[in-house]
Amino acid sequence: MAKSIHTQVAIIGAGPSGLLLGQLLHKAGIDNVILERQTGDYVLGRIRAGILEQVTMDLLDEIGVGERMHREGLVHGGFELLFGGVRHRIDMNRLTGGKNVMVYGQTELTRDLMQARAAAGLSTIYEAQDVSVHDFDGRTPSVRYEKDGKQHEISCDFIAGCDGFHGVCRASVGRGAITEYEKVYPFGWLGLLSDTPPVSDELIYVNSTRGFALCSQRSKSRSRYYLQVPLTDKVEQWSDEAFWRELRLRLDGEGRERLVTGASIEKSIAPLRSFIAEPLRFGRMFLAGDAGHIVPPTGAKGLNLAATDVKYLSAALIQYYSDRSEEGIDGYSARCLARIWKAERFSWWFTSLLHRFPDDGPIVAKFQQAEVEYLLNSDAGSRTIAENYVGLPLDFGQ
């Protein structure tokens, strides 16, 4: 085995949560190394959410990588619900006292973080194979991996598991030490990315008799659209023409008239699940982001919950190194989970409101219509949607 190197925090995963954590720790003078099993190009090629809450924007500004986001991102103060062929606007800005969200693709955010890390000369090890975590329940954890046919080891003070739902960190925890909660939804989202102008200046969430649809965007010239499809569907079954034809059938007259179609840049089907692991701390190893929780994409909470995890974790580690206090790391899991469960509830509820479930009869569609009519005709109901969508305050309910 190659000679072991030491770092203060070993971060597993070079997605947005791992990169963001690395920059926050570096800013505080805490040494860290990031390990990633994929190539950098592969990481940048993953198509993910593009809606940022204020907490995420603030963190990017804090580490000095928010300039391009503010220049190219699109500020949204509301979104539309299309029910029964009729549109209703949720004015988030008015209902939440001036809060907005930012449309900025996760790919671009990841690129900004990668460039900032490279500019700072920080270590990111891509194509790290057979990563394993050891002794995290003691005082001297370590991470082992293979690179270019050679075995390597990193000793560290702490391990941050930012390695996603299928990562090694959560999988390395003994089954008796972790409880997992999961709901798998009986449909998927067929997504299409195209270099076409968006059908609307704001997002449109569609509940139609044919199923859910979402009209989203990445910029003023790049659009992202989604269709609810059965889990049995394969992306190869869906030509671009078939996608656009089905989307038109789920839109209203105005949407069909304004829709600009074009060749897809990327097309894929994503399953939907709600998943939460408890706790998120195991000795000197912490789970953050998708390693600890997954939300349905309805409501765009995944990336923002990961950013909140990272905010709490970085603050806890900074407190430990500056004051030798373990108060922050002791409270990390409970603090994160208090926020996670609220976002999970909203994502589940919003998904249930907008989608057609295979076993639902006509009565459920009537329930959905009655609920949305109540929400839209009640200022309190509309505010409930708006304040959850823009993100609850960090100290809400804590």
Active site residues: 76, 205, 297, 301, 389
Tell me the three state secondary structure of residue 277: strand
Q: Which residues contact 105 (CB under 8 A, 6 or more apart)?
A: 48, 50, 218, 219
Adjacent-strand bridge partners of 184: 273
Total count of residues recorded for the chain:
398
Q: How far apart are CA 169 and CA 389, in angstroms?
A: 30
Tell me the three state secondary structure of residue 124: strand
Contact 160, 281 (CB under 8 A): no
Contact 285, 158 (CB under 8 A): yes
Q: How far apart are CA 187 and CA 230, in angstroms?
A: 5
Both structure tokens of 141: 């954890």
Both structure tokens of 216: 């989203």
State the DSSP code for 123: -
